[in-house]
Amino acid sequence: MIRSRTVNTIHELAAQGKSVQDIAISLGIARNTVRKYLRHPELAAMPHPRPNRRSKLDPFKEQIKRWMQEDHCYNCEAMLPRLLDMGYTGSLSVLKAFVHPLRPPQAGHAPVQRCETAPGEQVQSDWGEFTYEQDGVPHKVYGFTAILCYSRMRFVTFVKRCDGPTMIRCLMEAFEYFGGLPKAALTDRMKSVLVQMENKTPRWNARFADFMASIGVAPRVCRAFTPQTKGKIERSVGFVKQSFWAGVCFSDIDDLNRQAHIWCERINSRVHRTTHERPRERREQEPLAPLPQAFAWERFATEERHPSGGMATCPTMACSMACPQIRRWPERWCRCASGTACCRSGHRDACWRSWPNVPCRSRR
């Protein structure tokens, strides 16, 4: 197929009285080509579709469609590592070109001006609800996400409850992961943080206020019905659902958190599209305060639970003991006042650290 400009030149030279051979020689094309366009000038306006070529993505297109239909995964960057593990050797742009027309339309929204903070100034955190099915029965876990606003360094962990003590422990894990404390922490207006506003003065949850005062971080809440005031964490929760949660497979919540930690390490080592820097390298520019030591920090890692939360019988005492839920690992023994190991937590959210003595409370 030749260009329309060449076809026009053929007709111009033919109108000047030149022969087919002279036109072919001057344009460097075959004589039959000149005759074809002189006899059938309508051919220049007829489109000639390109032949379909095989793509490196062809063997994986059905799998990609299943991910989008069953897991609602439309994030190409989340699909790419899985496809590479399956043997895909193509590029991300080929995947995006295939997925883009299959995505559902998104509702429009008004633009919001981005607010940037100084290094070490603020951390934002929020909860997300994540649902899954096991043996045909629906279940859900709660994902806690935190982000350092300046460096965009993210932290994600999953728990079975989203109450006040659990939130404090998740914040402690986030601060430990970040390696320090910012000046302020911005959250939503949840009851585990803010009880109510009295004449524009916040009345904080007592346990949360005690925790923030002990570590020297100023609590902040976003404006009512305006989640854009903490837009970085709102976007991060959605990013976790699209990039990590879609299609994830796990055996228990500990396995899920191990995968989440690996995902955070990968995301924090990748160049951020807004700052054009790696969050882990940008984190070095943030002057975070050091973490508190000893009792000022560790006392918030434990939580006393009611007897319904887990019962055990102390072998040395004729009373029932309520096991305090500690933090991360289920293989930790709690001890009574006499130092005798009396019970072991049956929760998955049990202690992440070895505590030598955790007092149990007798049932009165």
Residue 170 has a pLDDT of 95
Least confident of 14-18, 194-198, 233-237, 351-355: 351-355
Any idea what the Cα angle at residue 171 is, between residues 166 and 173, rounded to 5°? 95
In which domain, by residue range, is 214 found?
Answer: 122-283
Q: Is the pTM of this model over 0.75?
A: no
Q: Which residue has the tokens 């007709």?
A: 11
- For the cut 70, the answer to whether the pLDDT of residue 12 exceeds it is yes
Residue 360 has a pLDDT of 39
CB-based contacts of 306, cutoff 8 Å, min separation 6: 322
Is residue 294 in some structural domain? no
How many domains would you assign to the chain?
4
Q: How far apart are CA 322 and CA 309, in angstroms?
A: 7
- Under 8 Å between Cβ of 284 and 148: no
- CATH code at position 145: 3.30.420.10
Q: Do 146 and 277 have their domain in common?
A: yes
Residue closest to 180 by CA, chosen among 279, 326, 277, 284? 284
Is residue 288 in some structural domain? no
Residues recorded for the chain: 364
- Under 8 Å between Cβ of 255 and 220: no
Q: How far apart are CA 24 and CA 216, in angstroms?
A: 85
- 3-state secondary structure labels for all residues of 241-307: HHHHHCCCCCCCHHHHHHHHHHHHHHHHCCCCCCCCCCHHHHHCCCCCECCCCCHHHHHHHCECCCH
Is residue 289 in some structural domain? no
Average pLDDT over residues 298-320: 52
Give the pLDDT confidence of 131-188 residue by residue, as tens digits.
998 888 999 999 999 999 999 999 999 999 999 999 999 999 999 999 999 999 999 8
Cα-to-chain-centroid distance, residue 120? 22
Is residue 236 in some structural domain? yes
Q: Do 139 and 77 have their domain in common?
A: no
In the listed set 256, 283, 310, which residue is the last one of a domain according to the structure?
A: 283
Is residue 74 in some structural domain? yes
Is residue 109 in some structural domain? no
Q: Do 141 and 275 have their domain in common?
A: yes
Q: Do 223 and 345 have their domain in common?
A: no
Q: Do 235 and 272 have their domain in common?
A: yes
Q: Do 32 and 171 have their domain in common?
A: no
- Under 8 Å between Cβ of 5 and 12: no
Burial of 95 (0-12, 13-18, 19+ CB in 10 A): buried
Give the pLDDT confidence of 27-86 residue by residue, as tens digits.
888 999 888 888 887 666 555 566 677 888 999 999 999 888 888 888 888 888 889 999
Task: Using DSSP bridges, classify how beta strands 184-187 and 218-221 pair: parallel, antiparallel or unpaired.
Answer: parallel
Residue 47 has a pLDDT of 57
Q: Do 193 and 262 have their domain in common?
A: yes
User: 204 pLDDT band (50/70/90 cuts)?
Assistant: very high
As given in the structure block, the two tokens for residue 101 are: 């027309």
What is the DSSP code (8-state) at residue 325? B
Q: How far apart are CA 79 and CA 241, in angstroms?
A: 13
The chain-wide mean pLDDT, for the chain, equals 79
Q: Do 322 and 270 have their domain in common?
A: no
Residue 301 has a pLDDT of 81
Q: Do 83 and 229 have their domain in common?
A: no
Is residue 290 in some structural domain? no
Q: Do 98 and 127 have their domain in common?
A: no
Q: Do 249 and 324 have their domain in common?
A: no
